[in-house]
Amino acid sequence: MIPTPFYLIDEARLRDNMRKIEQLRQRSGAKALLALKCFATWGAFDIMRDYMDGTTSSSLFELRLGREKFGEETHAYSVAWSDQEIDEAISYADKIIFNSLTQLERFADKAQHIERGLRLNPRFSTSGFDLADPARPFSRLGEWNLDRLHHALPLISGVMIHYNCENSDFDLFDQQLSRIETDFGPIIERLKWVSLGGGIHFTGEGYPLDRLADRLKAFSERFSVQVFLEPGEASITQTTTLEVSVLDILDNGKQIAIVDSSTEAHMLDLLIYRETAKFPQSGAHRYQIAGKTCLAGDIFGEAAFDAPLEIGSRVSIPDAAGYTMVKKNWFNGVNMPAIAIRQQDGTIRPVREFTYEDYLSSLS
Ligand SMILES: *Cc1c(COP(=O)(O)O)cnc(C)c1O
């Protein structure tokens, strides 16, 4: 048995999401690239590779990881490439997508032998949180000026438009794609490919997958472009838990269970986006589940379990794959969670454990 804390990836659930991606690809003709900034746990790539077309990245290291550990089609994007990294980036990439006309013009010559693209910012999005809203005022993410876009056309074969964020509303997606068709159609029809980015929550329960597929196919046929999707969260949603143990139980006006993990170190997005973990709420035994760092607000959330907790009890913190494992850190020197995969036959296979040596080597 692996000691807690550890992230536990469920292979059967991961394959459920992967089959939806495959269904969407087959019906729509779109290609699906895993967005590594959301999930880069390469120990799971063997499970994912057969259902997806490759990876997309936001930096040189992600790009290299995608090339080396996932393979297949490898897209490179970065908000800004440096002179020092551009040659190496181009050596890994099948396509390179620049964030601005300036970057495109600066590096287009070097990237002549691969496909080049530009990020297009349609100036609307589905994000409700300005920290993560690519259409926020003065956004630096992509070009929207039609003159600049026309200027880029001779240098590119496609555009990337990332404007959705956990969007589970197909009708909204449909309307916004129509706006893109109207506003940018004359540009798109001169291109070979369009990436519509990530953020479409199409693996969620009840999502009208076939309607999405048909809409993507219609878009692709209307403009004669290859469509790409870059699912991050949708690829791995609901596949992984963070397994922790109760170390202490206090009653400071509320039952508080302290576990051998930490929001800031192991589930940082709960703090950044002011969310709480999705614990069961129906049982009779209520606890606040809190982390073991000295951060006063290190709280995973409120839970109501069917049975009382005891010291040593195991707690599963749901939905711990996306934007979670990629952000883990050594705050407070808390033991970094191991990584394990629950295989389809139920056996749990550890894929990585961390030790004091890893903590030591993370600083000097
Ligand atoms: C973040 C991001 C993605 C993945 O977004 P999800 O919401 O995780 O699907 C895809 N493409 C780009 C350009 C991104 O910045």
pLDDT tens for the chain, 364 residues: list them: 899 999 999 999 999 999 999 999 999 999 999 999 999 999 999 999 999 999 999 999 999 999 999 999 999 999 999 999 999 999 999 999 999 999 999 999 999 999 999 999 999 999 888 999 999 999 999 999 999 999 999 999 999 999 999 999 999 999 999 999 999 999 999 999 999 999 999 999 999 999 999 999 999 999 999 999 999 999 999 999 999 999 999 999 999 999 999 999 999 999 999 999 999 999 999 999 999 999 999 999 999 999 999 999 999 999 999 999 999 999 999 999 999 999 999 999 999 999 999 999 999 9
CB distance 38 to ligand 1 below 6 Å: yes
Burial of 23 per CB tally in 10 Å (0-12, 13-18, 19+): middle
Residue 283 one-letter amino acid: G
For β-strands 314-317 and 240-251, DSSP reports them as antiparallel
Q: Tell me the best of 162, 167, 227, 237 to mutate to test the pocket of ligand 1, counting ligand atoms within 8 Å of each CB and taking the most.
A: 162
CB 267 within 8 A of CB 48: no
CB distance 116 to ligand 1 below 6 Å: no
CB distance 292 to ligand 1 below 6 Å: no
Q: End-to-end alpha-carbon separation of the chain, Å?
A: 33
> Distance from the CA of 364 to the center of ligand 1, in angstroms?
33
CB distance 199 to ligand 1 below 6 Å: yes
CB distance 197 to ligand 1 below 6 Å: yes
What does the longest C-alpha to C-alpha distance in the chain come to?
Answer: 67
What pLDDT does 51 receive?
98
User: What backbone torsions phi and psi does residue 197 show, to the nearest 5 degrees?
Assistant: 70, -155
- Ligand 1, atom 2, lies closest to the CA of 198
What pLDDT does 138 receive?
95
What pLDDT does 1 receive?
82
Listed as own residue / partner, the contacts of 79-88 with beta carbons closer than 8 Å and 24 or more positions apart are 79/140, 79/141, 81/107, 85/60, 86/110, 86/111, 88/60, 88/64
145 contacts: CB under 8 Å, gap ≥ 6: none
Bridge partners, residue 350, by sequence: 340
Q: Tell me the best of 17, 21, 34, 38 to mutate to test the pocket of ligand 1, counting ligand atoms within 8 Å of each CB and taking the most.
A: 38
For β-strands 348-352 and 158-160, DSSP reports them as unpaired
262 contacts: CB under 8 Å, gap ≥ 6: 291, 292, 293, 295, 298, 331, 332, 334
Q: Tell me the best of 34, 52, 119, 230 to mutate to test the pocket of ligand 1, counting ligand atoms within 8 Å of each CB and taking the most.
A: 230
CB distance 134 to ligand 1 below 6 Å: no
In whole angstroms, give the CA distance from residue 177 to residue 165.
14
Query: Distance of CA 222 to CAs 75, 175, 178, Å?
Result: 24, 16, 12
Which SS3 state, helix, strand or coil, does residue 337 take? coil
Q: Give me the half-sphere count of Cα atoms (radius 13 Å) on the Cβ side of residue 325.
A: 32
H or E stretch at 191 = none
Look-up of token digits 């073991």? 292
Determine the atom of ligand 1 nearest the C-alpha atom of 232: 8
CB distance 142 to ligand 1 below 6 Å: no
In whole angstroms, give the CA distance from residue 314 to residue 206.
31
Q: Give me the half-sphere count of Cα atoms (radius 13 Å) on the Cβ side of residue 353.
A: 8
For β-strands 299-305 and 6-10, DSSP reports them as unpaired
User: How many helical (H) and strand (E) elements, i.e. helices and strands, does the chain have?
Assistant: 12, 16
CB 132 within 8 A of CB 126: no
Determine the atom of ligand 1 nearest the C-alpha atom of 37: 1
What pLDDT does 197 receive?
98
- Ligand 1, atom 3, lies closest to the CA of 198
CB 240 within 8 A of CB 10: yes
- Ligand 1, atom 8, lies closest to the CA of 232
Determine the atom of ligand 1 nearest the C-alpha atom of 323: 8
What pLDDT does 228 receive?
98
In whole angstroms, give the CA distance from residue 74 to residue 85.
16
Determine the atom of ligand 1 nearest the C-alpha atom of 166: 7
CB distance 54 to ligand 1 below 6 Å: no
CB distance 233 to ligand 1 below 6 Å: yes
